Amino acid sequence: MSRLSHLDERGRARMVDVTDKPATARLAIAEGQIRCQAATLALVKEGRAPKGSVVQTAELAGVMAAKRTAELIPLCHPLPLTGIDVTITLNDQTPGLDVQAEVRTSGQTGVEMEALTAVSVACLTLFDMLKAVDRTMVVEGIRVTAKSGGRTGDWSQGGAIS
């Protein structure tokens, strides 16, 4: 096993020095889901959720969260994000809401943490806005599904990288 890059030679935590890495176009896509009762999803679909427009609010919360990732995750680099798209889709089959975040930058390190943070906070916002009508909701499946750029190149869990 190779040495962890976030530890110095004495085992102390440090932010990785990316000074000598070339800046490249970076993309990360993450997803997550919130499962709920069918009646809860119906309230969202009909625009009758007690706290208002939950989907639009959660999408905005996800964008805002991606921009604050370095303040939340220790040793995470602050990045100039060039694009953030958080999309929430209602899913009658599960039932629930599917959340996807796509984050872009041109820089020396990737944006996987920003995409994961966007999805996590969007899911938490949905939970907060709907908990009064459904305490059985479950947040699940938060993961990176694709990334591109950098030394390790492109990677995807079965989907096309846009």
* Catalytic residue numbers, as ranges: 128
100 - beta bridge partners? 31, 87
CA proximity to 96, closest of 140, 146, 151, 149: 140
Are the C-beta atoms of 29 and 161 separated by less than 8 Å?
A: yes
> What string of DSSP letters covers 13-77?
B-----TTSPPEEEEEEEEEEEE--HHHHHHHHTT--TTS-HHHHHHHHHHHHHHTHHHHSTTPP
Task: For strands 24-35 and 96-107, give the pairing.
Answer: antiparallel
* Rg of the Cα atoms in the chain: 18
Percent helix, strand, coil in the chain, to 5, is: 30, 30, 40
Looking at residue 60, its amino acid is L
